[in-house]
Amino acid sequence: MKREQWKTRIGFIWAAVGSAVGLGNIWRFPYVVGDNGGAAFILLYLLCLALVGFPVLIAETLTGRTTQKSPSDAFYSFGKSKLWKKLGLMTIITGFLVTTFYGVIAGMTLGYLFESLKGSLTHFASTSDALNFYTTVSSNSSWILLAYATFSLLSVLILYTGVKKGIESGNKIMMPLLFVVLLILVAKGLTLERASEGLKFLFSPDWKELSPSSIIKALGQAFFALSLGQGTMVTYGSYLSKKESLPGTCVPITLFGTAVSILSGIAIFSIVFSAGLPASAGPSLMFQTLPVVFSQMTGGYFLAVAFLVLLVIAGITSQISALEPLIAYFIDDKRWTRKKAVTVAGLSSFIFGIPSALSFGLWKNVTIFGLSIFDAISFLCVNILIPVGGLLALILVGWRYGIHKAIKHLEEGTQKLFNRFGFFKWYLKIGIKYVAPTLIFLILLDLLGIIKLH
């Protein structure tokens, strides 16, 4: 069966941006920043991107591009053992688990889009009104399950159409539009009273605000924001021509994702501080801030609809990227047709996500280690499984396959860049083989209580 490929490098960049830029940047990044003290956490996050996130991104896309295979077979090709094949399969399972909780939040965003069309999001006088509305709808099991089911169906329909028509074409249009609407929200947020306090929170670091767990959360966010450790970038890399420059594609992905995260922070925290809200409002932060500004601005109804349409699309692009590794596995290993693979993957994801959806309402008192089902699965994926997946990719490329052979493959399509910026090759060599795996390993040991970094 002939493997699909991206039409152009730009198509791959926008598809990868669509994977990386989603609710992780617009929903999760601001509330994690709010929970961890603001500017100091952002600097820690950027450091994690430079020292760990980007080397992992290069390692994963290189593995996919070189082998032209799904993660399990790609890991087997580089690792030359059944153990590595199983480890590659583990990253696919991680991506699948991510879809089960991510799809719930994305479905909630779709539900908010329906509410915005009804005019329900533009009549709030205060953030407490918006919070009460969020609590009411999210705890309504019928509302959240219907929204989640509809979102899952939309994702499956796009996945049916394949790489070029479904994934590549849509992202070229939607990602730039999302960026424009986000800029409008930033501009509005900056005109609000006390918006400067929000900017201070985001850009004036207070190191005392950081806690030991902030390091783990910063690393997890760096991985989550780039869709690493879950087979996605290995799979997307496998659809990429060997003529393309990997650093030339991965740098824009990283920069665009970071820019969207920072802009989302500005938009949301300017509203948070102007409304006197606590910055550490948690996962509901986006849902209790943006409706307030939509209610107070001219044309708020249309902007709310436009923003939520694009946010739903960003959610879909991230959801399909996390499901694509499992679909590629079914096609490559099981020889299934794409439609059968998509149907099984999409239906399974929806069914396994139902407990997370119900944890906002009917099952809100059901806990795992003191966390709701949604929070427990999210913590397991973002803070443990995804970093482990990234560590495996680094060990595979840097040690098992060999960094010198890997760099030779990396030079394909990149020689001019390496000749011009010699330090860049050195940075990738050291980063992939030593710096990134060492940092991930130490952070995971600290998380498991084996050592103490603080």
Domains of the chain: 9-447 (1.10.4160.10)
Burial of 212 (0-12, 13-18, 19+ CB in 10 A): exposed
pLDDT at 372 over 90: yes
pLDDT at residue 41 greater than cutoff 70? yes
Q: Is the dihedral of CA 333, 336, 338, 344 positive or negative?
A: negative
Pairwise CA distance, residues 346 & 152, whole Å: 7
Q: Is residue 313 a contact partner of residue 221, using CB atoms and an 8 Å limit?
A: no
Taking 90 as the threshold, does the pLDDT of residue 96 lie above it?
yes
Lowest mean pLDDT among 78-82, 231-235, 273-277: 273-277
**pLDDT tens digits, 142-173:** 999 999 999 999 889 888 875 445 455 555 66
386 pLDDT band, cuts 50/70/90, is: very high
Residue 245 has phi, psi (to 5 degrees) of: -80, 120
- pTM, to two decimals: 0.86
Q: Of the given ranges (14-28, 39-53, 83-97), which has the lowest mean pLDDT?
A: 14-28
pLDDT of residue 123: 84
Give the CA distances from residue 346 to residues 21, 51, 320, 340, 352, in Å, rounded to whole numbers and listed in that order.
21, 34, 9, 10, 10
- Calculate helix-pair angle for 82-117, 285-296, nearest 10 degrees: 30
> What is the mean predicted confidence (pLDDT) over 416-424?
79
353-367 pLDDT per residue, tens: 999 999 998 898 999
| pLDDT recorded at residue 53 | 92
Place of tokens 């956490």: 41
* Higher per-residue pLDDT: 413 or 393: 393
pLDDT at 322: 86
Q: Is the pLDDT of residue 329 over 50?
A: yes
